[in-house]
Amino acid sequence: MFQEATAEDRRKYYTMEWKIERIPDFIRESIHLREFGFDHTGQGPNDRYRFFRDEKFLTKFMKYRAPYAAYSSVALYDRPWKREGWRSSELVFDVDAKDIPVRQCKCDNVCEKCLDQAKEIVAMIIDTLEDDLGLREIHVIYSGRGYHIRVLDPIILKSDSEVRSQILKYVIGGDIPRFSYTDFEGRVRSLDHFMVPLGYPRVFTERSRYIILHLNGDEKIEDITRQTMNKILEYRDLIGADRWGEFRDIIGPRVYERLIKGIAKLNLQLVDARVTVDLKRILRLPSSLHSKVSMICTHVEDLESFDPLRDAVPDFVKEKS
C-alpha cells in the first residue's frame, strides 16, 4: 500500500478501471469551462491550459495518455485554454495528512492513522462551514494523501481572495479572540476565549482543544520549553474535560498566553492556506490516480463511512497484495 504506480499500472488503471462517470457531476457539467492540467513524468503538472469540449474528448485523452496525475481548475472561465474570462471559483480547503502539524503517527509519508486525523479535521471544518457560516453545496474529495473540501454555494463563488482568507482564519481558528468589557464600577475586564461558548471563540476553543490533545511533545512552539511542554502534556486531560480555567492556572497565565499564541499558528497549518486563497488553483481530478501512492482520487458520498483503504484502492494494488 502507498507504493508509487508504474507506467504499466497507470495504463492498466486508465484502460480497464477508470470511468468518466466517477467524476462528480459538478465537474462533468462544466468540463468545457475548466482548465485541465497534467503531469506525465512525476515532476509536477507542466502540461497546463488544456481544454476539453466535452466528456468524450476527456475520456479519449485519459485512456490514451494514462497520465501520472490529472488536475482540473476550481475556476470556470469563458476561455479556459487561456485562463481568461474568469466567471467564478469554488472555495477550497486542502487537508493533507502528511502536513498535519500534530501527527501522532510520526510516519514518513501517510498511514491509516494520519488519514483518520485528516478526516477528523475535515469533519470539524464542514461543521463550521454549515453551522456557523450557513454554507451549502459542500463536496468532499479524497485526494490520495488527504482531503479537499470544495464549496459550491453560490454566495461564495465570486468572492475575492481577501474574503476567502477571512473565512479560512475563521474555520481553522487562526486568530486569538480578544474580549474586554467595562463593568458597573468602570473597570475594564477581559474574557478568555473559552469563556464564550458561541461564534468564533467557540471555534477557536475547539480547534485549540484538538491541537493540544494531539500534541506528541516534539512540536516546536515559540517560547515553550521541553519542561513546559511536559507539564502541558501531563495536565491536558483537563482540557478534554472542558476545565480550561484550571488548566491555565496550573501551567500559569503567562505560559498559557504563550501556548495559545503557538496554538493559533499551528491551527493555520491544519490546511494549505495557499490553496484556499488561490482563485485559479488546479486540484487533482476526482477519479484520477494519485500515482505517488497508488490511490484513487475519490468523490466521498458519506464522510463518516468512507474508508480510503477500502474505497480508494485501485484493482492493480489489490491484485498485488
Q: Of the residues 9, 39, 94, 192, which is catalytic?
A: 94
Q: Among all chains, which residue has been given the C-alpha cell 475556476?
A: 75
The reply to whether 44 falls in a domain is: yes
The reply to whether 132 falls in a domain is: yes
What residues form DSSP beta bridges with 150? 92, 139
**Which of 151, 172, 193 is where one domain is finished?**
172
Q: Of the residues 96, 175, 183, 249, which is catalytic?
A: 96
Q: Of the residues 99, 132, 175, 272, which is catalytic?
A: 272
Measured distance CA(197)–CA(297) in Å, rounded: 37
Number of domains in the chain: 3
The reply to whether 2 falls in a domain is: no
Give the DSSP per-residue string, 145-174.
SEEEEEE--TTTTT--HHHHHHHHHHHHT-
The reply to whether 297 falls in a domain is: yes
Question: Are 58 and 102 members of one domain?
Answer: no
55 grid coordinates? 466528456
> Catalytic: 278?
no
Which residues lie below 8 Å from residue 44, measured CB to CB, with a gap of 6+? none
The reply to whether 41 falls in a domain is: yes
pTM as predicted: 0.94
Question: Are 183 and 264 members of one domain?
Answer: yes
Question: Are 253 and 282 members of one domain?
Answer: no
Residue 192 structural domain: 179-268
Question: Are 262 and 190 members of one domain?
Answer: yes
Give me the CATH number covering residue 186: 1.10.8
The reply to whether 1 falls in a domain is: no
Question: Are 186 and 263 members of one domain?
Answer: yes
Half-sphere exposure of residue 278: CA atoms within 13 angstroms, side-chain side: 12
1 grid coordinates? 500500500
Which residues lie below 8 Å from residue 91, measured CB to CB, with a gap of 6+? 135, 150, 151, 153, 156, 157, 159, 164, 167, 276
> Catalytic: 25?
no
Give me the CATH number covering residue 288: 3.90.920.10
Q: How does pLDDT run along the chain (321 residues), one tens digit per residue? A: 789 999 999 999 999 999 999 999 999 999 999 999 999 999 999 999 999 999 999 999 999 999 999 999 999 999 999 999 999 999 999 999 999 999 888 888 888 999 999 999 999 999 999 999 999 999 999 999 999 999 999 999 999 999 999 999 999 999 999 877 787 888 888 888 999 999 999 999 999 999 999 998 888 888 899 999 999 999 999 999 999 999 999 999 999 999 999 999 999 999 999 999 999 999 999 999 999 999 999 999 999 999 999 999 999 999 987
The reply to whether 320 falls in a domain is: no
Question: Are 196 and 261 members of one domain?
Answer: yes
